[in-house]
Amino acid sequence: MKRKIVVIEDDQPILDLMGILLQKLGYEPVLIANGLDALTSVRADPPALILLDIMMSPLSGWEFLERLRTEYNQREIPVILFTASPTVPEKMKKLNDPKVGILQKPVTFDELRAAIAQFLE
């Protein structure tokens, strides 16, 4: 049984790419382009890991993470912040959440594999 990874990303080319790469890595990707839809999906069927873009609307990555952790009480699902913004690493440090990792866009295939492996192996 393949482990499910939810990718939340509003940039379609990247979303498509992640689908292909994750499949290649042996996971079952669930591609969602909108944070609000993602919340519903994650609650209904919690994945093994979430790849989360930060700069999205209407729900930003930070807001998604906040609601996931508190409102939906999903504290154990690892979340990898998948972002192009340079200030995210510092903000992430302040969260002090061991189940949150970071991948700075653009990532190579190997970096993606290593980042996921950090939480799932």
Partner 1 sequence: MERPITIWRVSISHTDFVRTIVIASLTLSSILITTIALAKNAGAIYPQLFYFPILYATYFYPKRGIILAGLCGVVYECLVYFSLFPDMLALWGSTGQAILFICVALAVAYFTNLLRVSEARYRSIFENSLLGIILFDKNQFMIRLANHQIAAMLGYSVEEISQRTFSDLFFTHELRRRFFEHLGSGEEIRNFETCFTTKNGEPHWVNLSWSRIDDTIVSCSITDINAEKLARELAADSSTQYQQVTESSPTGMVITDHTKILFANPAFSLFSGYGPEECINRDITDIVTDEDKDRFLKFAHRWNIPSPVPDRSEFRFVTKRGEIRRAVLYFTPIIRNNRPACLVNIVDNTEWEEYRERVEQTRERRREMMRAVAHELRTPLQPVLGYLNLLLQDPQSFGVTEETRQILDRCAKSVDRERQIINQMLELSVLEGEETSLDYSVFSVGGMVNAVIAGGGYALKAEIAIDIPQDLLFEADRQKLSYVIDVLVANGVSYSKPPKKIWITYRGSPSHPFHRLAVQDNGIGITEAQLDAIFKPEEEGSPHPSGQALGGSGLSLAIAKKYVQLHGGYISVDSIVNIGSTFTIHIPKKRPDTVDHHET
For 98-102, the CB contacts below 8 A with 24+ separation are 99/75, 100/65
Binding-site string for partner 1 from residue 60 to residue 99, where x marks contact by CB under 8 A and - marks none:
------------------------xxxx--x--x------
In the list 57, 73, 96, 108, the residue contacting partner 1 (rule: CB under 8 A) is 108
Tally of CB atoms within 10 A around 45: 10
| Residue 106 touches partner 1, criterion: CB under 8 A | yes
Who contacts 13 (Cβ-Cβ below 8 Å, separation ≥6)? Answer: none
Q: Cβ 71 to partner 1, closest distance in Å?
A: 28
The sign one gets for the Cα dihedral 71, 36, 24, 101 is: negative
Residue closer to partner 1, measured from CB, 21 or 48: 21
Contacts with partner 1, residue ranges (CB under 8 A): 11, 13-14, 16-18, 20-21, 24, 55, 84-87, 90, 93, 104-110
